[in-house]
């Protein structure tokens, strides 16, 4: 049985006081390790303060992005070592907003994956098709390519450190969730691709979470699917009650 992961991606939201207040409430409510791994991904500016609040709690911290180089003249960028230093255990890599709005290619993401894993960060590796790709029937092809290219030369040992996040681009921030069966179909395909194309013997244990308009109302039916092991939550993860509700529903 895979322990579900419920992660909140705060994107470009929350000041330091807002992030700290949320983290304090979360720590109070989920003070003991439970049936779900809880992750929050604050903006860079709030990482350190959130880490200080969550010290000694079972809640994990993720960054939303990173650069692949260790250091150097890369104005505005943050390295994996800096994220570890700030208290991160996870890092989101390849979010569709990074791919679409900031031109991140599979090749760049592959470099980020190598750098993250080398620093001991656990990547939450995002993949997903656009509406156009879904409608033209190329969803599986796109997903397979994103996995093969993004994870080029990643060793089996490293694959065990990765959580995959299937996020259909058309479902992000739109209020349109993939139906549980639509999501399950792709999650199953992702698991098969990890087993067959990456030749990973333990794909049955890989965490594959769903993202795209997840809320407390649709969490239960998504989590009922055999290959859905949690959620990457955007909008509903900004609101404490909604996020806590999603966690509660995911606890079995």
**Contact residues: ligand PGA, CB under 6 A:** 9, 167, 172-173, 211-214, 232-236
> What's the distance, Cα to Cα, between the start and end of the chain in Å?
11
The reply to whether 95 belongs to the active site is yes
In the complex, the smallest distance separating the C-beta of residue 238 from ligand PGA, rounded to whole angstroms, is: 9
Which residue's beta carbon is nearest to the bound ligand PGA?
A: 234
Coil, helix or strand for 71? coil
The nearer residue to ligand PGA, 50 or 214, going by C-beta atoms, is 214
The nearer residue to ligand PGA, 199 or 241, going by C-beta atoms, is 241
Q: Which two tokens stand for residue 105?
A: 């290619």
In the complex, the smallest distance separating the C-beta of residue 213 from ligand PGA, rounded to whole angstroms, is: 4
How far CA 29 is from CA of 60, 183, 193, 245, in Å, comes to 14, 30, 37, 11
The whole-angstrom separation of Cα 252 and Cα 4 is 9
In the complex, the smallest distance separating the C-beta of residue 173 from ligand PGA, rounded to whole angstroms, is: 4
| DSSP code at position 179 | P
The whole-angstrom separation of Cα 50 and Cα 52 is 5
The nearer residue to ligand PGA, 80 or 214, going by C-beta atoms, is 214
Q: Which residues does 167 contact at the CB level (< 8 Å), separation at least 6?
A: 95, 96, 126, 127, 128, 210, 211, 212, 232
The nearer residue to ligand PGA, 139 or 242, going by C-beta atoms, is 242
Q: Which two tokens stand for residue 138?
A: 């190329």
The residues annotated with a catalytic role in the active site are 95, 167
């Amino acid at each position: 049985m895979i322990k579900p992961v419920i992660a909140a991606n705060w994107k470009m939201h929350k000041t330091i006081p807002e992030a700290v207040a949320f983290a304090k409430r979360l720590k109070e409510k989920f003070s003991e390790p439970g049936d779900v791994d809880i992750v929050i991904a604050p903006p860079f500016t709030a990482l350190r303060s959130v880490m200080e609040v969550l010290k000694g709690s079972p809640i994990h911290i993720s960054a939303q992005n990173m650069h692949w180089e260790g250091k150097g003249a890369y104005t505005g960028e943050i390295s994996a070592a800096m994220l570890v230093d700030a208290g991160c255990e996870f890092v989101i890599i390849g979010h569709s907003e990074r791919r679409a709005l900031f031109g991140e290619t599979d090749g760049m993401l592959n470099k980020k994956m190598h750098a993250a894993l080398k620093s001991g960060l656990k990547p939450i590796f995002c993949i997903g098709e656009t509406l156009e790709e879904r409608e033209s029937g190329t969803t599986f092809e796109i997903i397979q390519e994103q996995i093969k290219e993004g994870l080029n030369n990643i060793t089996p040992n490293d694959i065990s450190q990765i959580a995959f996040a299937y996020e259909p681009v058309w479902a992000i921030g739109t209020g349109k969730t993939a139906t549980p069966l639509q999501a399950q179909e792709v999650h199953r395909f992702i698991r098969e691709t990890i087993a067959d194309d990456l030749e990973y013997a333990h794909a049955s244990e890989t965490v594959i979470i769903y993202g795209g308009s997840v809320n407390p109302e649709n969490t239960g039916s998504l989590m009922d699917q055999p290959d859905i092991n949690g959620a990457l939550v955007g909008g509903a993860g900004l609101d404490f009650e909604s996020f806590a509700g999603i966690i509660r529903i995911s606890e079995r």
